[in-house]
Structure 1
């Protein structure tokens, strides 16, 4: 059975009239990788300013008749009582255990990474997103109202060296990107991203630590997105899921680089993240 344990909640209060309201904000300041507790029961508030724009914490209300909103919750899980046989594409590959970095981007090994037989990794994405073959743009969603690339890329990696579960438990305290050993060559912006939320998800009785993170450009003084508040709106969203198998750390990073697309595809992007499974292959 799949269960989910929250790691944190956001310091955002609901308003019956306007949806969200901010309280007790005296100074505007971006905080890279805001410190959160990894305790499964402790709840810690995050400065609400990190939620601008608010669409990062929850998608906008879908129009009536939107099939995705009818079938799935905002976190990507099916709604109670809904039987779903959604068509999906499965990306599956295998590596050998190694102390070196192993890296895959959109299902293809990168750099010196070699296929193996000791550990199997897989994830799924909606069938309606193109697979990048026959000249198509990968992850392009031609659905009415979207007609755009729904996902920037999907990165999967095995971090260098050995790891234990404490490395994931403390990740929110010492910095997620640093703790999980994210490759800087491909995920450099993740090191400057803010934590929006985090939780522990159990799949096949195995713990997967998940974080929603977002990064803003260093400067937007010449951009129409400049709000005049001393910081720039987020322009890159990262959905992470990490686990430990045989003393190795494995992580998937699902990226979206458009807040407009995030409004339309956030539930589907989260389902990609939650479909990540890592299994050791029995000899």
Structure 2
């Protein structure tokens, strides 16, 4: 009994609280098989400290812990301060925090319980589908020749004397709906937490002109990206007119390999210019008219985002002119919130081959 009082004094922290605590659990102590075992494994040293006779026994340690937890849970007279009795966990208690490993679970197969990769050299790649397009390029043209492919459909070319066929491609995530149906629109992402259309339209087009070279892309930030990419020259208002006054959010160059025209089997570096364009809607209703995004600052947030990748290639070695190939990924602000990382990967995957 003296041992039990000592343990309770350590748990509650004061003499008055201990007697109330002991009175509450005394009747329960007789019915708990763990209490007898816990008491029989402890003794009091001459200096008053409670020690375990089997200190190296993890079983006794767990029984004492269970006894204190059960006792604190049964006591109805313990004040709030005593309920926060501190317990120190050790390696024997780690199983409390480990989740059950299901080998069929993909997360469990890729990651250890601590969150690290099971194989540090493992590279997890997104599942994608390549969209391949073929463009016929005329041998000579005084005017501008344009071929357009929208949403993966092959371009309809009017070229009768094609000198070169260029191949363009980009990758789409398989988690998107890649075929429009009555149930789901094109580019709908059914992933958990998204469930929305992720992209408005993807366009790949070619511009062939005798005096066309990469200089036009180098000066795009000065002249205007839409004008440099001939977006204003595509008929039937294919692109929203707002893109002609769009803000250039960012731009960079990327180098990708391409087959050499000089030596068969060799590869050169092809420079691609990537632009992020954004523009606001033409009309911006006031806040009182139901537009909660108009805060009276005189403008509305961006409503349309265009991710562009463009490059200029020579169709034949020695040609002065060339062909510009452009990929434009269009989305609105809601689609951007859902899939901005996927949209960037699509734009970055664009490449052109001979």
**Fold match (TM-score > 0.5):** yes
Superposition deviation, residue 192 in structure 1? 2.2
Tell me if the contact between 2:253 and 2:272 (Cα under 8 Å) persists in the aligned partners.
yes
- Give per-residue Cα distances to partners, 1:212-259, cap 9 Å, x unaligned: 0101012212422212111111000000000012210010000111x2
Q: Which residue of 2 aligns with 1:279?
A: 353
Report deviation, 1:133. Answer: 4.7
Q: Match for 2:310 among 242, 250, 267?
A: 242
Tell me the SS of whatever aligns to 2:311: strand
Partner of 1:201: 254
Query: Cα deviation per residue 1:51-95 (whole Å; 9 max; x = unaligned)?
Result: xxxxxxxxxxxxxxxx9xxxxxxxxxxxx9761332111110111
1:149-168 aligned at under 5 Å gives the runs 149-162=197-210, 163-168=212-217
Unaligned runs of 5+ in 1: 1-66, 68-79
* Residue of structure 2 equivalent to 1:106: 151
Over the residues paired in the alignment, what is the CA RMSD in angstroms? 2.4
* DSSP-derived class of the 1:108 partner: coil
Pair 133,152 (structure 1): closer, same or farther in 2 beyond 3 Å: closer
2:196 aligns to what? 148
Contact 1:138 1:149 in 2 (8 A): yes
Q: How many residues align?
A: 201
Query: 1:180 pairs with 206, 216, 229, which one?
Result: 229
| Partners of 1:216 and 1:236 within 8 A in 2 | yes
Q: What secondary structure does 1:118 align onto? A: strand
User: Structure 1-normalised TM-score?
Assistant: 0.65
Residue of structure 2 in register with 1:3 after alignment: none
In the TM superposition, residue 209 of structure 1 has moved relative to its aligned partner by: 0.2
8 Å CA contact 1:214–1:236 kept in 2: the answer is yes
Q: Secondary structure at the match of 2:253?
A: strand
Large movers: runs of 4+ above 3 Å? 109-117, 133-136
Which ranges of structure 2 fall in alignment gaps of 5 or more residues?
A: 1-106, 108-119, 258-268, 315-321
CA–CA separation in structure 2 for the residues paired with 1:268 and 1:113: 34
